[in-house]
Amino acid sequence: MVPQAADIVRVLPEIIWCVFGVLLMLLQPYVKNRQVLTFFGMLGAALGTLSTFLGHMGSGFSGLIQFDIFSLFFHWLLGLVAFLVILAADSYLERENLPAAEFFALILFATAGMGVLASAQELLTAFIGLEMSSIASYVLAGYRRDSVKSSESAVKYFLLGSFATAFFLYGIALVYGATGSTNLVRIADADPGSNLLRLGLALILVGLGFKVAAAPFQVWTPDVYEGAPTPVTALFAAGPKAATFALLLRIFTTIHAATEFWFWAFWILAVVTMFVGNLGAIVQTSVKRMLAYSSIAHAGYTLVAFAAVRFLSTNSEIGPWPAYAAVLFYLLGYSLVKVGAFTIVSEIGGQGERHLTMDDFAGLGTRQPFAAAAMTVFLLSLLGMPITAGFFGKFYVFKAAIGSKLIWLAVLMTINSVIAAYYYLRVIVVMYMREHKGEMPADTALSLSPTAAMVVVVAVAATIYLGLFPNHILGIVLSQNLFASR
Amino acid sequence: MSAVLVIFYVLAGLAVLGAVTLILQSHPIHSALSLILVMVSLAGLYLLMGAEFVAAVQIIVYGGAVMVLFVFVIMLLNAGEEEHTSFSKLARFAGIPLALALAGMIAAAIARSSAHLPAPAMSGALTSTKRLSMLLFSEFVYPFELTSFLILVAIVGAIVLAQREGN
Amino acid sequence: MELSGHLLSVVIFFPALGALALLFLRGDDALWIRRLAFVVSVAEFLLSLIMLRGVAIGAHGYSLVEYKPWINSPPINYHLGVDGISLFLVILTTFLTPLCVMASWKGIHHRIKEFHVMLLLLEVGIIGVFLSLDLFLFFLFWEVMLIPMAFLIGIWGHDRRIYAAVKFFIYTMFGSAFMLIGILWLYNLTTSLDLPTIQAYLQSNPAALSHRTEMLLFLSFFLAFAIKVPLFPLHTWLPDAHVEAPTAGSIILAGVLLKMGTYGMIRFCLPLFPDAAHRAAPAVAVLAIIGIIYGALVALVQPNLKKLVAYSSVSHLGFVVLGIFTFNAISMQGAVYQMLAHGISTGALFFLTGIIFDRRHTYEISEYGGLSTPMPKYAAFFLFVALASMGLPMLNGFVGEFLILLGTYQVHWTWASWAALGVILSACYLLWAYQRVFFGEVTHTKNKELPDTDSRELWGLLAFAVVILWMGIGSPFFTHRIAAPVDTVIEQTKPHFAEEAARPAARPAVRSTSVVFDGRVVSR
Amino acid sequence: MVPTNYYLILSAILFGLGVLAFVFKRNIITIFMSIELMLNAVNLAFVAFSQARGQSDGEVFVLFVIVVAAAEAAVGLGIIILTARNRRSLNVERVDLLKL
Amino acid sequence: MPILEHLWIVPLLPLLGAAINGLFGKNWSKTVVNSVALGSTGISFVCALEAVREFLEYFAQYHTGFRKEFFDWIVAGSFRAGFDLQLDQLTVVMMLVVTGVGFLIHIYSTGYMAHEGGYYRFFSYLNLFMFFMLILVMAANYSLLFVGWEGVGLCSYLLIGFYFLRKSASDAGKKAFIVNRIGDFGFMLGLFLLFRAFGSLDFNTVFAKAATWQPDAMGHYGTITIACLLLFVGATGKSAQLPLYVWLPDAMEGPTPVSALIHAATMVTAGVYVVARSHVLFLHAPTAMYVVAVVGCATAFFAATIGLVQSDIKKVLAYSTVSQLGYMFLGCGVGAFGAGIFHLMTHAFFKALLFLAAGSVIHAMGGEQDMWHMGGLGKKIKITFWTMLFATIAIAGFFPFAAFFSKDAILFAAFNSPDGGKALYTVGLLAAVLTSFYMFRLMWLTFGGEKRYDEHHVHVHESPLNMTIPLMILAFLSLTGGWVAAPALWGGKNYFAEFLSPVFGSAEVGGEASASLEHTLSYVAMAAAFVGLAVAWRMYSKKVERGTSTGLHKILYNKYYVDELYLGAVVRPLMWLSTNVFWKVVDAGVIDGTVNGVAQGAAAVGDTVRHTQSGNTRSYAVWVIVGAIVIFAIIFWPLFSPVLSGGVR
């Protein structure tokens, strides 16, 4: 029962992230140079990510966590996101003149929490992880203390987030009551017929649905994303969402009953979410808010793959793997793109995030060719155009959906991607085909700051690479032992 | 009707009463006090079930620390009567019925499905606490350690948020 | 030759290299950008001519095949191949691109570098579409091609360019999204994305698809193609796109992009879903015929020269679709030929409209009149091309139209009779427009001093004229190469239920009125 | 002996009242209290279940929940103070700058 | 046999001339252009003659038409259209007419066009026309014939619109082309049907198969009849028969030599040629034959009536042309193909002559075309007068001039034709009366009586030699041309029919009818001509003034308002429909309306969606609750969850 060294190694990433978080806090009084802190933050993120190689597969802490390719994949994803966000935040913090150390520390803590979420195999541990990331996120959302919007987004996120958490927790309680355990594996063995279990799972779905911004739980997303400091928004769009999906997926794979209970729920959530996200995005004038809505829509697309799991796992010889692969690949591509896009937005936004409207993007193609080009790549990826990661993501989701005979879902998704084309295109049109009206605000940087540029370059490169040669990633996400057997 | 059941009803009644007054009171302080009432009565129920340690923690941490924090903040911001705006049409018309409906559903579902569970066995206090600590430091050590970081996050957050301008 | 191993890849990606090279030039160095772009596109044209050697006359199946595994799951392969049909479409593309560069020599003034980069990338996409034999690859190029085209319209277009660009993009996207579903569904049923493989599979066990499934799949592909063609009710993006696009854009758009739709029908809709194709044929034919007449009538009354040409495309492409959906060797060869012919003559027409636009910056017919006095050479070329487009014998337009109608008549005489009305109407709108633009006294003083075609334009026009004549007289050069693949397609399109339902294959030569409402007649 | 589902029903009622309070109250602090109320309801359920099953896990969970609640309280109140500082109101309905 | 083996030379030479003049002639002197144009046509005429000579040898040897395939033009599936030329008696006649008359008219043009702009253009068009016309007559299959068919149409379009600065001219050209297209529509369908029936468009194959064609169950030659009628539709377009004749009168907008060559001598006779060429088919399609006869006859009369009152000298001739073409069709229609072709030839001579003479008159009058502003020219321009008089006598049908024999043969055949022959004959005869009337009316108005023009403005002068010589040659031909087919009773011998017999074979009907009947009929015809002459003399020989046209005269003068009818009944409605229904409503309204409507609809929905995003946390909480309830509903709804119905385990 007493944890072994192996267990420790299996949670090394979380430990490293937290430790570096603490380290940053300790350094803060002495180091006045922001770059150094940035460096430390990135170092922490990187080390944590790399440390995944040390641990070998298997469950740790008497089954509380499961360290397998799946969690490894997500640790990588989260680490990468954290790394990029920290890098992107550097110039932002300077511009907004905000304390750096706490910021990076919180990001690392949040990342650690997500990591826990990704590898947790026991609901309470997951809950702790969720809370870690959430609490850190609340603070990050309100990080621009003097900004009314920022604090508002913090309040909304905090109140609604804890509200949802309560549901999640109550769900856990009921599941525990029904099965006498919170360990997924043991829950799976329990009688799936009991109403208590079903109720519990329903409540859990409410809680998690909120975190992944599935309609009608998406309500908080646009406000929080818009109010939060843009790099933080990037983190929100990529990290917690991915981690929560990871947990959902883990529950799916472990508790077969869940796929049954949740099937229609996911079907309907997916459709509603797609439509709400896309239709909402059409009418937005602020690019940042538009991207927020678009991330709702993308959550919807991901849910489509979830809906596909049930049929595949029961009726097809290959099993649900295509659906899982779709989710993983989709999240990867999506996260990278979102981070890149929000980075650009934050750079264009300028001091005090005052230039977020479409008009501010007008003529970007001539003013900042590089930024505009990169933004175009991201938008096309979100739109699901070929030779971008987004295309394959969407492709695999489609494939999963059609593979499980969800033709109607696929058709609805198609219609949505056409709607989406409209507003993504609008940004491109504005950037290249409109000239900027009025005089140029002085403080808009004539080009991206080097750090941000780095982030963008990485994101673009990754997006296109995944769009051309997805094989490597596919090799990982399609591996049959994605989830190490118990 | 056994004494235990009577006590249960009393405490349960107090808890619900507290919850209701929490809603009905218009001044935060009163709401806070009624919340304390709920917590205390819950502590009583824990005792009734034989979970002494939890009951104690409930009183100390919740009733003591957390609620004091609340009251302190209320004082700090000297929040007065809450104004009864209702800009939200949705909450105004649909909110309460829907909330009640939800509560009803949950309650009904639980009532229907948990009848078969055995009644709580009043286990000896010490043993239960012992087992508790065992679990905490063996099986659940990982979440336990995580909570420490969680608290750290909370502290950092609080500092970041509350610290005055131009630190 | 060593090259032949990767010839197709080279042909596809050479323009991309050119585009890359362009990026290294200084943006304001217009002359050299244009020269480089021109050289690259001409070189590309010559490269594509090499393919002629690779495709043996009468060869069934694909030549110069390239096959490399690309993505493991689903098994997507980099599978290229060319046959008589795609061969000439590719050459058409490579032939038109240099002319586009010429056409934009004067018309394009800002962001010249980007313009030519886009043009070359567009070429890459289009050629890729014609050469890929993997459904996924095909779809990939199909989508990729959208973006540069939308940019060409949206950045270098005219007043309502953005509306036009977005409309074009969304319209096409709508169709292709459904095609993606179709592709995946098909993959789901055949576990392959490789066209020949799927083909073989479906041929070998016709029961693979239920009638309903087959029809749905057919429609999912057909919608995408019908929008591109464009078939009658889905055509409204075309006039806007054309009117707003810069000359080069229009040339490529009308010259090649539309053909992608009809090409898709021949390559995918028919061979993969023969029964559905036959069942849908009457409806499609009706739409095509409506398109022919409707397009011509609307073209007749257009006050805007470019719009007129655009609607004429709707009419002409109607012929092509009709030819395809009669499943008759003659008409289908005619259809393919008409694709090429229309590409040339309409391309030339847009080239010509571009020339006067460069001088007067308007397409309004009322702004012109009596042009043959100031610019006789121009007038002569315009007449020549117009005649070609209205299908005068010995010019390219005639062969295709004649074969289509001839072939169609053999199977459904009423279809052919209705379609033939288009022949009259095309004369009407073209001649009337020509009269209004070129005949009579010069009405606008602005037009009095218009310079005639300069040498650059003259060379471009000559290139067009030569090809027009050649295609008009030497058609066997093309049809010999087209024949075999077309026969293959028709062979593959033989409906399965034709055998099932034992019905007299040979129908009486005359009085086959009944044929019309029954797509089941198997031609030949 | 008190049947377990009495406790559970009570917890359900309390949870429901918490939800009700969340939508009913305007004062941010009170709303936060209602969240605490919901968490308490959860705790009750946990304890009841663990007692019913004669395990102690449930009680461990309760401890965790209490800690988390405390942490949330710290941060939450910090945020509330921040908001109160930024805009002179604790009425949640007046915190609606971000919309549409 | 050099030329015969390289038959393509004959048509190609004019094409060469056209190309050279068209591409480079712009900056060349008239003489150079002349030499190119005349040279090419002249040589091609000579080659034609040589070819004929060789052909006759060939025929004597093989007793069959000469035929040679040069290259494949279209090949698709079972269809082949080759550049195949053939030579048989019929072709020979046509070829000689085309090249011969064409050459003469070229010469004439060098004088007539001397002072016109675009000289090189004119000749290049003219040569191009020669090329296509030769292709038309020498083609050995319908598809190549169609090439010539369309090509001559194009040239007539170009030449009618030669003075493109005049709107009327360009209108006329357009009209000609489009009306012809309407005919071609039928023609093409005819070809398609032939291919469907016989699997080929090659003359030999088609005719061979047709000869052995079996009537279907109802004893009809359905396919062939339909095919013939469709071909005839094409013919009516090209040869200006009812109801598609309307373009020809307007075509007079073109330069007069053009009217002479294209709209009198050659192109317009293409329809007749096609019918004659397809006689094998027509003989299998009695119905079609009858239709041809009736239409021809009707046209002959109808056009003649209009011709009575026209005041423009060329218009009169134009309607007369229409009428004469009607005769030719009548001939073919009653089976007298030989006679039809014969009339075609003679008509080529005298009608060309008439036009050229008229041209010379116009030339003399400095462009004046209204006969009411002429008169008394007889003394001024003698050569023109006399030559034109020859032509008039010829067309009127007086012995021994050309038309006397040709028209006679046709009428005779008509009289003998089994069903309704008498009626056809009578109408034809009436038309003959009218013909001689309006022709002599023309003569008197132009050359006779007082002069009705102002000396000071118009300086009447005889045309130069290069114009008058062709006139004389043609005059000679129209005097003697008839004798090649003079029936025996006039001491002649029907060489022509004999010559054509290998083509038409037994097609020639009526030959065996009694000599006496033939005699009487020809007297009747001559009488008719005299009647016309007499009336004309009575009305116009003395001093006349243009009267106010009223009643019937008015209707005739306005050509029965046919143009107005077409305009009002077809053109205008079509335009209106296209503009106000198809374009404005269907396209812009319905389709685009839907498209944009969908977009706006989406935006509207989006707007409502965003308004759920009220920014109010309480509402948000309610949304969460709603979601929770929905999920409960879903999960606990037996309908949805297979679990409840024992799906799992």
Tens digits of residue pLDDT in B77-126? 887 777 778 777 888 888 888 988 888 888 888 887 777 777 766 655 55
Using the beta-carbon criterion (under 8 Å), do A429 and C139 form an inter-chain contact?
A: no
Q: Across the interface, which of A391, A414, A433 has its CB nearest the CB of C155?
A: A433
User: Could you tell me what percent of chain E has a pLDDT over 90?
Assistant: 7
pLDDT band at residue A443 under the 50/70/90 scheme = low
User: In the prediction, which pLDDT does E583 show?
Assistant: 83
Average of per-residue pLDDT across A209-236:
91
A280-335 residue pLDDT tens: 998 888 999 999 999 999 999 999 998 888 888 777 777 788 888 899 999 999 99
Using the beta-carbon criterion (under 8 Å), do A124 and D46 form an inter-chain contact?
A: no
For the ranges A164-178, C363-377, E627-641, the lowest mean pLDDT is seen at E627-641
Q: Is pLDDT at C366 greater than 70 in this prediction? A: yes
Tokens linked to C197: 């493989």
Task: Give D98 to chain E, closest Cα distance, Å.
Answer: 6
Residue E243 preceded by cis peptide, ω within 30: yes
Q: Is pLDDT at C219 greater than 60 in this prediction? A: yes
Residue ranges of chain B with per-residue pLDDT less than 50:
167
C-alpha–C-alpha distance, residues C388 and C461, integer Å: 13
Sequence letter at residue E230: L
Contact of D71 with chain B, judged by CB distance below 8 Å, is answered with yes
Structural domains of chain D, count: 1
Q: Is pLDDT at A33 greater than 80 in this prediction? A: yes
- Asked if residue C86 lies in contact with residue C66, where contact means CB atoms within 8 angstroms, the answer is no
pLDDT band at residue E221 under the 50/70/90 scheme = low
Q: Is pLDDT at A94 greater than 50 in this prediction? A: yes
Three-class DSSP category at D80: helix
Mean pLDDT across chain E? 84
- Please tell me which chains touch B, using 3 or more CB pairs under 8 Å as the contact test: A, D, E
> Residues C374, C380, C386, C390: is their CA dihedral positive or negative?
positive
User: In the prediction, which pLDDT does E218 show?
Assistant: 56
E230-257 residue pLDDT tens: 999 999 988 888 888 888 888 888 888 8
Q: Is pLDDT at E638 greater than 60 in this prediction? A: no
User: What is the chain A residue with the closest CA to E639?
Assistant: A264
Contact of E603 with chain D, judged by CB distance below 8 Å, is answered with no
C440-487 residue pLDDT tens: 888 888 888 888 888 888 999 999 999 999 998 888 899 888 888 998
Structural domains of chain C, count: 1
The residues in B 9-68 lying below 8 A from D, measured between CB atoms, are 12, 15-16, 19-20, 22-23, 28, 31-32, 35, 38-39, 42, 45-46, 48-51, 53-54, 57-58, 61-62, 65-66
Touching, C vs B (3+ Cβ pairs under 8 A): no
User: In the prediction, which pLDDT does A82 show?
Assistant: 94
User: In the prediction, which pLDDT does C506 show?
Assistant: 45
Three-class DSSP category at C246: coil
User: Could you tell me what percent of chain E has a pLDDT over 70?
Assistant: 93
Q: Is residue C138 part of a domain?
A: no
Nearest to E107 by CA among E315, E261, E266, E318: E261
Q: What is the pTM of this model?
A: 0.89
Whose structure tokens read 């423009």? E312
Q: Is pLDDT at E547 greater than 80 in this prediction? A: no
Using the beta-carbon criterion (under 8 Å), do E165 and C405 form an inter-chain contact?
A: no
Using the beta-carbon criterion (under 8 Å), do A156 and E649 form an inter-chain contact?
A: no
For residue A110, the tally of other CB atoms under 10 A from its CB is: 31
Sequence letter at residue C291: G
Size of the A and D interface in Cβ pairs below 8 Å: 113
User: In the prediction, which pLDDT does E606 show?
Assistant: 87
Contact of A223 with chain D, judged by CB distance below 8 Å, is answered with yes
For residue A30, the tally of other CB atoms under 10 A from its CB is: 7
Mean pLDDT across chain A? 88
User: In the prediction, which pLDDT does E216 show?
Assistant: 65
D10-56 residue pLDDT tens: 999 999 999 999 988 888 899 999 999 999 999 999 988 888 888 88
User: In the prediction, which pLDDT does E506 show?
Assistant: 55
Helix intervals (H) in E481-577: 495-504, 515-540, 551-557, 562-566, 572-576
A299's CB contacts (< 8 A; 6+ apart) are A212, A213, A214, A218, A241, A273, A277
Q: Is residue C89 part of a domain?
A: no
Using the beta-carbon criterion (under 8 Å), do E75 and C511 form an inter-chain contact?
A: no
pLDDT band at residue E644 under the 50/70/90 scheme = very low
Q: What residues make up the domain containing C384?
A: 291-524
> Residues E382, E388, E390, E396: is their CA dihedral positive or negative?
negative
pLDDT band at residue A486 under the 50/70/90 scheme = very low
Contact of A478 with chain C, judged by CB distance below 8 Å, is answered with yes
Average of per-residue pLDDT across E49-54:
89
Which residues, listed in sequence order, are joined to residue E75 by a DSSP beta bridge? E80
Average of per-residue pLDDT across A127-134:
93
Using the beta-carbon criterion (under 8 Å), do D93 and E614 form an inter-chain contact?
A: no
Whose structure tokens read 């049947």? D3
- The residues of B whose Cβ lies within 8 A of any Cβ of E are 87-91, 94-95, 98-99, 101-102, 105, 109
For the ranges A127-136, A142-151, C156-165, E205-214, the lowest mean pLDDT is seen at E205-214
Q: Is residue D99 part of a domain?
A: no
Average of per-residue pLDDT across A399-414:
88
Average of per-residue pLDDT across A84-92:
92
For residue C391, the tally of other CB atoms under 10 A from its CB is: 27
Q: Is pLDDT at E545 greater than 80 in this prediction? A: no
User: Could you tell me what percent of chain C has a pLDDT over 70?
Assistant: 94
Contact of E649 with chain A, judged by CB distance below 8 Å, is answered with yes
Which residues, listed in sequence order, are joined to residue A205 by a DSSP beta bridge? none
Q: Is residue C372 part of a domain?
A: yes
**Residue E216 DSSP code:** -
C-alpha–C-alpha distance, residues E462 and E380, integer Å: 7
Contact of D95 with chain B, judged by CB distance below 8 Å, is answered with no
User: In the prediction, which pLDDT does E510 show?
Assistant: 46
Nearest to C274 by CA among C223, C206, C181: C206
Q: Is residue C8 part of a domain?
A: no
Q: Is residue C95 part of a domain?
A: no
C488-513 residue pLDDT tens: 888 888 887 655 554 444 444 444 33
C122's CB contacts (< 8 A; 6+ apart) are C145, C148, C149, C152, C252
Q: What residues make up the domain containing D40?
A: 4-94
User: Could you tell me what percent of chain A has a pLDDT over 70?
Assistant: 97
Contact of A173 with chain D, judged by CB distance below 8 Å, is answered with yes
User: What is the chain B residue with the closest CA to A170?
Assistant: B106
Mean pLDDT across chain D? 88
Planar angle of CA B120, B125, B129, nearest 5 degrees? 100
Q: Is pLDDT at E1 greater than 60 in this prediction? A: no
Which residues, listed in sequence order, are joined to residue C63 by a DSSP beta bridge? C82
Contact of E617 with chain D, judged by CB distance below 8 Å, is answered with yes
Q: Is pLDDT at C522 greater than 80 in this prediction? A: no
For residue C465, the tally of other CB atoms under 10 A from its CB is: 18
Average of per-residue pLDDT across C292-299:
92
Q: Across the interface, which of B114, B142, B157 has its CB nearest the CB of A64?
A: B142
Q: Is residue C509 part of a domain?
A: yes
Average of per-residue pLDDT across C102-111:
86
Average of per-residue pLDDT across E14-37:
87
Residues of B in contact with A106 (CB under 8 A): 153, 156-157, 160
- Asked if residue C275 lies in contact with residue C496, where contact means CB atoms within 8 angstroms, the answer is yes
Q: Show the 3-state SS of chain A.
A: CCCCHHHHHHCHHHHHHHHHHHHHHHHCCCCCCHHHHHHHHHHHHHHHHHHHHCCCCEEECCCCEEECHHHHHHHHHHHHHHHHHHHHHHHHHHHHCCCHHHHHHHHHHHHHHHHHHHHECEHHHHHHHHHHHHHHHHHHHCCCCCCHHHHHHHHHHHHHHHHHHHHHHHHHHHHHHHHCCCEHHHHHHCCCCCHHHHHHHHHHHHHHHHHCCCCCHHHHHHHHHHHCCHHHHHHHHHHHHHHHHHHHHHHHHHCHHHHHHHHHHHHHHHHHHHHHHHHHHHCCCEHHHHHHHHHHHHHHHHHHHHHHHHHHHHHCCCCCHHHHHHHHHHHHHHHHHHHHHHHHHHHHHCHHHCCCEHHHHCCHHHHCHHHHHHHHHHHHHHHCCCCCHHHHHHHHHHHHHHHCCCHHHHHHHHHHHHHHHHHHHHHHHHHHHCCCCCCCCCCCCCCCCHHHHHHHHHHHHHHHHHHHCCHHHHHHHCCCCCCCCC
The residues in A 243-272 lying below 8 A from E, measured between CB atoms, are 256-257, 260-262, 264-265, 268-269
Q: Is pLDDT at E279 greater than 80 in this prediction? A: yes
User: In the prediction, which pLDDT does A57 show?
Assistant: 82
Tokens linked to C69: 């595994």
Average of per-residue pLDDT across D68-90:
88
- Asked if residue D75 lies in contact with residue B157, where contact means CB atoms within 8 angstroms, the answer is yes
Task: Give E591 to chain B, closest Cα distance, Å.
Answer: 39
**Residue E202 DSSP code:** B
Touching, D vs C (3+ Cβ pairs under 8 A): no
Residues of A in contact with E622 (CB under 8 A): none
User: In the prediction, which pLDDT does C121 show?
Assistant: 92
CATH number at residue D38: 1.10.287.3510
Region of residue B121 (left: phi > 0; alpha: psi -120 to 50; beta: else): beta
Q: Is residue D9 part of a domain?
A: yes
Tokens linked to C414: 């009423």
Average of per-residue pLDDT across A104-120:
93
Parallel, antiparallel or unpaired: strands E79-87 and E66-76: antiparallel
Q: Is pLDDT at E327 greater than 70 in this prediction? A: yes
User: In the prediction, which pLDDT does C208 show?
Assistant: 79
User: In the prediction, which pLDDT does C55 show?
Assistant: 84
**Residue E262 DSSP code:** I
ipTM confidence score? 0.89
Beta strands in E8-130 (DSSP E): 66-76, 79-87
Q: Is pLDDT at E601 greater than 60 in this prediction? A: yes
Q: Is residue D100 part of a domain?
A: no
Three-class DSSP category at E80: strand
Three-class DSSP category at E139: strand
Which residues, listed in sequence order, are joined to residue A183 by a DSSP beta bridge? A122
User: What is the chain B residue with the closest CA to D40?
Assistant: B39
For the ranges C87-91, C184-188, D89-93, the lowest mean pLDDT is seen at D89-93
User: What is the chain E residue with the closest CA to A221?
Assistant: E613
User: In the prediction, which pLDDT does C343 show?
Assistant: 93
Tokens linked to A277: 């996200």
Q: Across the interface, which of B109, B110, B149 has its CB nearest the CB of A109?
A: B149
